Structure 1
Amino acid sequence: MPVTAPVNPDAAARPLSADLTDGLAELALSAEEADRTGEPDLAAVAVLRRTGLLGLAVPRRFGGAGADAVELNRRVAQVAEANASASIMLFQHYAVTSRIVEQGTEAQHRELLPKLASGEWLAASAWSETGAGANKKNLSTKARRLADGDWLLDGAKSFTTSAGIADLYLVLAQTGDPEDRATADTGYGAAGQTFYLVRSGNPGIRPDTSLRLTGMRGSATGFVSLHDCRVPDTDRLGPVGAAASIIARVRESGATLGAVAVGLAQAALDAAGDQAARRGLLAQQSVRHRLVDLATRVEAARAVVERAGRRDAPDPGIATLHSKLFASVCAEEVCAEAARMLGSAGFVETHPVNRHGRDARAVALMGPTNDLCRELVSMSWNS
């Protein structure tokens, strides 16, 4: 029994096609299997490719839907209700697509965007690495320019979502002196870093999905190594050494991991409501009121995420950080309370609410982590 506040039809996302409605049901089924096995959820990827979801962030002239951040967040939340691993793969695809739209050359637009729009290609971010810290300031991955103008990348990335599944990786590498302060400190990334678009067929890139996760187990989150990975300069994204400023502008896009958390919180709330109905507990005022309190928190998180997507706050970047922080904390708390409401069912390992709780915890730890969100917001008070 979904416990959901009425939706303003003027603010709702576009109606789902029948194919996408069926796709959401498929995503829910594949989520259970992927969580059990810990293997990449290939069935979910097939649904994302087939339903047109991958094309939402691509402008219409390149075959996409030209959706704004409000709709992207709503779709991510919608997918997260059914399958959180699929939603994080979708979110990362939107993030890379948006960077290409904003920073790419016309040639990159013509070649890459139609493939990203059609579902032929899935994109992934490869920024994190062991020892770099949550703020990505100490990268060991290096990019060296060759005499012919191409680049040679060497290093290793960790916690890359869609590793081994993605067709295109947005790789963050050090190309200059990180101590050079010619670029202002944005709190995330460092001076002398550059983005590269590395295709999965490049012989110098090797994914590894042997990492065993407790949450988002179907997201193919793992390692990506780069050894003598030759990348043409035409696949560099944005100016050399300007990645930190690009990263700083990402927050202002309005797309937020808080959307994944909202979907998870709604799924946990629905599970608690269904269980209460089946056990005849809705006759008890105390149970009904607990559900109302949880529903109110979910709606508050949804509102914060929607505000981030509208980008109408005095500082849109700070609003996006708040949305990720608030919604992920809310999701963890709602999942925990829902598990308590389930009674003995909440102690069953395979109950969906336990998967939702583990997935919600994963969102809190994804970059920017919640602690880094707090630090970035606090830094703004001194500016």
Structure 2
Amino acid sequence: MTSPTAPPSGQLDPRLEHLLHRDAAEADRTGRITDDVLHALRSCGILGTAVPRAYGGAGKDATEINALVEQVARADPSVAIILFQHFAVSARIQEWADEEQKARCLPRLASGEWLAASAWSESGAGADKRNLSTTAERTPHGWVLNGAKAFTTGAGLAQLYLVLAQTSAPEHDTSLYGSSGQTFFLVEADTPGLTAETGMDLVGMRASATGFVELRDCHVPAGAAIEPLGQAARIIAAVRHSGATLGAVSLGIAHTAYHLALSHARKRGLSEAQAVRHKLADIAALLEATRALVERAGRRTSDDPGTTTLLSKLHATSTAEHICQEVKRLLGSSGFLSDHPINRLARDAHAVGLMGPTNHLTRELVSAQWTA
């Protein structure tokens, strides 16, 4: 039985790929990305993938970004999530920041000097980010931020945070993700008043450095705010049109799970059994269909690219969970060993569905257009 086709992209840096495979199990056990992987991530050039060439990056499009994220996720999904968030912040700066902000941030993000993270989520705010307690108030010299963020991927590792804060009272609006009166701020990790730590003991994506960011009388200059003020919901709504999708992470997980099953069947002589061969064929078909949808999202060639990106995340996450469970059944008793890689993959597959926008919110965003 042949493997599904490889993604249409350049290959992952061999040194980084080796370290990801070598350290994934240990990172999951300890809940911490290894220093070797973090150093390789910063030094191999991968962090500049989404940064335009004019600022020292590679200037890759969403198709290539998705393919690269998938390749990382095949080895370690936790690192793929860190990378995806870095790419997402890089893209938001390129799309919305002013020239001064781009010149200050993008070269550092491209070189690996800075790692970026999104600080949007809050305990009690809900998946839709519409009830923020984090505030930003004007001062004569800029803004002062107060609040606390949870579930920030890369917390404690990043040198730059894209912080979502309430700058004015929200008005009645119909947005499902974010609300009026919110503004994004670019806040450097060493800014007085900002503290970040990886303090969440997660079930899945354990090495994603997911934790807390606290802002207490955190003073930032006026140039930290991304214009237009109070219009962060517009930026959030536009994200899906980029074509970059968390479905790429799920695709990488599903790819590795499939190959675990294929290797197991060959080693145990199970590929002689028709039922096993047919089950592997069904899994391969699901994997290829998922790849096609993720690639379509990246190309942005559908009639509604934003919806396609949302659907790619929804389909890929559901499919990855399903494939992991099917592979567990094929593995038999081997899959019940706590240290078997399929159990880490299954936990990580479930975790992607809980990442923003969560699968529940994704369904709301897709289906809202049918009742508008």
Whether the TM-score (by the shorter chain) exceeds 0.5 is yes
Contact 1:41 1:220 in 2 (8 A): no
Q: Whole-Å Cα distance in 2 between the matches of residues 370 and 275 of structure 1? A: 31
2:353 is paired with a residue whose SS is helix
Alignment-mate amino acid for residue 167 of structure 1 = Q
Contact 2:4 2:287 in 1 (8 A): no
1:87-120 deviation digits (Å, cap 9, x = unpaired): 0000000000000000111111112111111111
Other-structure match for 2:370: 381
1:283-315 deviation digits (Å, cap 9, x = unpaired): 212211111110110111111111111111111
TM-score, length basis structure 1: 0.95
Other-structure match for 1:5: 4
Other-structure match for 2:312: 323
Question: Displacement of 1:4 after TM fit?
Answer: 2.3
Q: Whole-Å Cα distance in 1 between the matches of residues 15 and 328 of structure 2? A: 28
Alignment-mate amino acid for residue 157 of structure 1 = K
Other-structure match for 1:167: 159
5 Å-filtered alignment, 1:168-187, equals: 168-178=160-170, 180-181=171-172, 185-187=174-176
Correspondence 1:358 to 2:347: yes
Other-structure match for 2:145: 153
Correspondence 1:50 to 2:61: no
5 Å-filtered alignment, 1:224-373, equals: 224-373=213-362
Aligned residues: 372
Tell me, which stretches of 5 or more residues in structure 1 are unaligned? none
1:342 is paired with a residue whose SS is helix
1:38-88 deviation digits (Å, cap 9, x = unpaired): 224443322211221110100011111110000000000010000101000
5 Å-filtered alignment, 1:78-93, equals: 78-93=71-86
Q: Whole-Å Cα distance in 2 between the matches of residues 327 and 42 of structure 1? A: 30
Q: Whole-Å Cα distance in 2 between the matches of residues 378 and 206 of structure 1? A: 38
Correspondence 1:202 to 2:198: no
Choose the corresponding residue for 1:14, options 10, 14, 22.
10
1:226-266 deviation digits (Å, cap 9, x = unpaired): 10011111111221101001100001000010000000000
Q: Whole-Å Cα distance in 1 between the matches of residues 331 and 350 of structure 2? A: 19
Q: Whole-Å Cα distance in 2 between the matches of residues 357 and 226 of structure 1? A: 34
CA distance 1:25–1:15, change in 2 (3 Å): closer
Question: Displacement of 1:372 after TM fit?
Answer: 0.4
Q: Whole-Å Cα distance in 1 between the matches of residues 284 and 200 of structure 2? A: 35
Other-structure match for 2:63: 70
Tell me, which stretches of 5 or more residues in structure 2 are unaligned? none
Q: CA RMSD in A?
A: 1.3
CA distance 1:244–1:41, change in 2 (3 Å): farther
Choose the corresponding residue for 1:217, options 196, 206, 210.
206
1:115-148 deviation digits (Å, cap 9, x = unpaired): 1111111000000001111000000000000123
5 Å-filtered alignment, 1:118-137, equals: 118-137=111-130
Q: Whole-Å Cα distance in 2 between the matches of residues 110 and 163 of structure 1? A: 24
Q: Whole-Å Cα distance in 2 between the matches of residues 238 and 295 of structure 1? A: 45
Question: Displacement of 1:15 after TM fit?
Answer: 4.0
Correspondence 1:116 to 2:146: no
2:239 is paired with a residue whose SS is helix
CA distance 1:37–1:153, change in 2 (3 Å): same
1:300-333 deviation digits (Å, cap 9, x = unpaired): 1111111111111111111111000000000000
TM-score, length basis structure 2: 0.97
1:160-191 deviation digits (Å, cap 9, x = unpaired): 0000000100000001111x14xx53310000
Contact 1:49 1:120 in 2 (8 A): yes
Contact 1:41 1:86 in 2 (8 A): no
Q: Whole-Å Cα distance in 2 between the matches of residues 319 and 123 of structure 1? A: 26
Alignment-mate amino acid for residue 47 of structure 2 = L
1:325-370 deviation digits (Å, cap 9, x = unpaired): 0000000000111111111110011111100000000000001000
Q: Whole-Å Cα distance in 2 between the matches of residues 342 and 43 of structure 1? A: 32
1:112 is paired with a residue whose SS is helix
Q: Whole-Å Cα distance in 2 between the matches of residues 126 and 72 of structure 1? A: 21
